[in-house]
């Protein structure tokens, strides 16, 4: 028998084989078409990517050539090497270096810090004012440092457009509702500070830097979180972590690529995580206490005004933590809001360092000028007449306020103000053009110690430069001694607005100026009035009186820190 079957089946097998071959051929041809299509799409994607990257690089090269072209028109020393003048930053006092260059090249000069980084220093007060109004952005390094340390924040980004609304809301909050209550320092806050002074005096003296930091930390913590912060057991740990993170933030942010391979970075990252957890903890604790306070008030008898007043003193007020201050209401549980923690840590960092430096500077000035301290005490006594026990009339303490202004002038918080314009060139009235991306610095020390703006005694401590004498007498009469025995009760002095002088820059100027300037000044004046009312502050015998400026964590400080003695005044 034929194994292939009958002859009639052969054509059928042929047709079947032919159909299979055709279907397989169609399959392979369709697969090839798909493969060819995918290859064409992938090649198109690669070409588009290549063109996009090329255009981006060409744009950067064009901006770099523009930076070189416009930068070369500015006066300044020639570039010594490929790395420019980066070695100048290793010197102890960069302000002295800038001072020498300003004397040689004028009020505006340039320094190349590398092939792609141009630094422009400005000293003339009017030009500084114009630049700070036009240059609204901060350096990208600043934004990276805050993001790396504290997380994403809507208050401390480099681009001004991204932070403008939040900064304006914060400014309104600080300078309206919070400013109204600044005349009254809570008793618990004063008790906490007095306890710290008592502990320090038990050892014989108090270090001016340490006591100032404690005062600033207490005041700022109580302002943000209410009196809950004063009883928080982890406040000292929070302060140490905050200082540790602030010390290393700029160093780790200076890497173009986050250095995950460095062991020190992971230790720093661990400290940031602990700080964030503690911030969330105090926010939760403050929220719970506030809810408990509101519940107690709702169940209390509204006729019992004494009880209602007592409840008013508990926890943080809604004005202190409204939605305009931070992204959400403080009364809700906000531990899941990473941006809230970043904003709080940023405000604590900035406010703590600057306020502590200002308080320390004022304390050192008044102990070195006891005659000013005596006159301030007389002013406090007069201003307190007719007021409640715990209330301070800040508006009547003009000499104390002028002393704070003068202390801030002689020793600003930061040696340099740094700004930039990320997108647009700056066209100045003097004809100079500062290209986009250039680093703008203002040597605050030089500007605030310049004799052309502050007179021949610009380097001396003289708070009366911020006061005007009414009734036709000149301000200089007091300084020369002619009116030295005038009594402040005559109300012959009026306080000048320091911001009218373009050379007054301890709080910055322009769009990026400190949003809490007025709040800080009023708070420090009110606090110092409370301290000086109860204590006479003297320099410890044998303590250093020849103080020198130094920079610690980019903050200007007087070293060595003098030892102070707080002597209780007799009632």
Residue 464 banded pLDDT, cuts 50, 70, 90 = very high
Residues contributing to the annotated binding site for heme: 514
Half-sphere exposure of 56 (CA within 13 A, CB side): 6
Instruction: Identify which has the larger pLDDT, 165 or 484.
Output: 165
Write down the residue that tokens 């000044």 correspond to: 521
Buried-exposed string 123-140: b where 16+ CB fall within 10 A, e elsewhere: bbbebbbbbbebbbbbbe
What gap in Å lies between CA 331 and CA 333, rounded to an integer? 7
Residue 42: helix, strand or coil by DSSP? helix
pTM: 0.80
Helix extents (H) in 411-561: 444-448, 451-454, 476-479, 517-534
Residue 116 banded pLDDT, cuts 50, 70, 90 = confident
Per CATH, which fold does 142-294+329-471+491-568 belong to? Cytochrome p450 (1.10.630)
Write down the residue that tokens 């400005």 correspond to: 122
371 by Cβ neighbours in 10 Å (0-12 / 13-18 / 19+) ranks as exposed
Write down the pLDDT at residue 346. Answer: 80
Write down the pLDDT at residue 353. Answer: 81
Instruction: Identify which has the larger pLDDT, 466 or 390.
Output: 466
- 481 pLDDT exceeds 50? no
DSSP state of 77: P
Backbone angles phi, psi at 441, to 5 degrees: -125, 145
Residue 299: helix, strand or coil by DSSP? helix
Backbone angles phi, psi at 424, to 5 degrees: -115, 145
Write down the pLDDT at residue 549. Answer: 65
Nearest to 556 by CA among 357, 348, 347: 357
Instruction: Report the mean per-residue pLDDT for the chain.
Output: 77
Beta-strand runs (E) in 104-165 = 108-114, 117-122
Beta-strand runs (E) in 455-554 = 467-469, 493-495, 535-539, 548-552
**Average pLDDT of the residues in 120-129:** 90
Q: Which two tokens stand for residue 382?
A: 């007069």
Residues contributing to the annotated binding site: 514
Per-residue pLDDT reduced to its tens digit, 396-437: 889 999 999 999 999 887 888 888 888 888 888 888 889 888
Residue 304 banded pLDDT, cuts 50, 70, 90 = very low
DSSP state of 535: E
- 314 pLDDT exceeds 60? no
Residue 95: helix, strand or coil by DSSP? helix
């Amino acid at each position: 028998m034929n194994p292939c079957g009958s002859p009639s089946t052969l054509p059928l097998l042929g047709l079947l084989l032919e159909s299979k071959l055709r279907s397989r051929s169609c399959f392979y041809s369709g697969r090839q078409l798909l493969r060819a299509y995918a290859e064409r799409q992938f090649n198109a994607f690669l070409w588009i990517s290549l063109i996009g990257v090329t255009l981006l690089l060409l744009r950067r090269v064009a901006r770099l050539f523009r930076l070189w072209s416009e930068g070369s028109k500015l006066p300044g020393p020639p570039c010594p090497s490929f790395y420019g003048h980066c070695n100048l930053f290793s010197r102890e006092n960069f302000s002295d270096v800038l001072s020498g260059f300003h004397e040689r090249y004028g009020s505006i000069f340039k320094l190349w810090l590398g092939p792609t980084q141009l630094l422009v220093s400005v000293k003339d007060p009017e030009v500084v004012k114009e630049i700070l109004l036009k240059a609204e952005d901060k350096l990208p390094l600043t934004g990276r440092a805050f993001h790396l340390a504290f997380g994403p924040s809507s208050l401390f980004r480099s681009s001004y457009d991204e932070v403008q609304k939040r900064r304006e809301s914060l400014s309104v909050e600080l300078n309206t509702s919070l400013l109204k209550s600044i005349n009254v320092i809570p008793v618990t806050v004063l008790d906490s500070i007095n306890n710290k002074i008592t502990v320090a005096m038990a050892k014989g003296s108090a270090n001016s830097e340490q006591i100032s930091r404690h005062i600033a930390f207490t005041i700022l913590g109580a302002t943000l979180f209410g009196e809950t912060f004063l009883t928080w057991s982890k406040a000292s740990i929070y302060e140490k972590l905050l200082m540790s993170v602030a010390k290393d933030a700029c160093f780790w942010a200076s890497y173009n690529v986050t250095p995950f391979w460095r062991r020190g970075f992971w230790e720093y990252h661990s400290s940031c995580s602990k700080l964030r957890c503690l911030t969330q903890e105090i926010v939760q604790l403050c929220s719970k206490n506030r809810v408990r306070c509101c519940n107690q008030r709702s169940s209390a008898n509204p006729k019992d005004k004494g009880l209602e007043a007592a409840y008013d003193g508990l926890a943080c007020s809604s004005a202190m933590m409204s939605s305009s201050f931070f992204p959400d209401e403080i009364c809700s549980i906000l531990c899941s809001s990473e941006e809230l923690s970043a904003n709080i840590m940023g405000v604590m960092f900035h406010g703590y360092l600057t306020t502590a430096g200002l308080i320390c500077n004022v304390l050192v000035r008044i102990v070195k000028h006891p005659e000013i301290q005596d006159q301030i005490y007389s002013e406090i006594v007069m201003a307190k007449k007719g007021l409640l026990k715990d209330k301070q009339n800040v508006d009547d303490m003009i000499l104390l306020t002028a002393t704070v202004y003068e202390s801030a002038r002689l020793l600003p918080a930061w040696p340099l103000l740094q700004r930039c314009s990320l997108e647009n060139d700056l066209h100045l009235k003097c004809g100079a053009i500062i290209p986009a991306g250039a680093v703008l610095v203002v040597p605050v020390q030089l500007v605030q110690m310049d004799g052309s703006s502050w007179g021949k005694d610009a380097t001396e401590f003289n708070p009366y430069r911020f006061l005007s004498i009414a009734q036709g007498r000149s301000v200089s009469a007091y300084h020369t001694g002619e009116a030295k025995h005038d009594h402040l009760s005559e109300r012959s002095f009026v306080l000048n607005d320091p911001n009218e002088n373009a050379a007054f820059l301890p709080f910055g100027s322009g769009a990026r100026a400190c949003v809490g300037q007025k709040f800080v000044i009023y708070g420090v004046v009110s606090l110092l009035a409370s301290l000086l009312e109860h204590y006479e502050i003297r320099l410890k015998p044998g303590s250093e009186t020849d103080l020198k400026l130094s920079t610690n964590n980019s903050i200007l400080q007087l070293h060595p820190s003098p030892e102070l003695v707080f002597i209780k005044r007799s009632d």
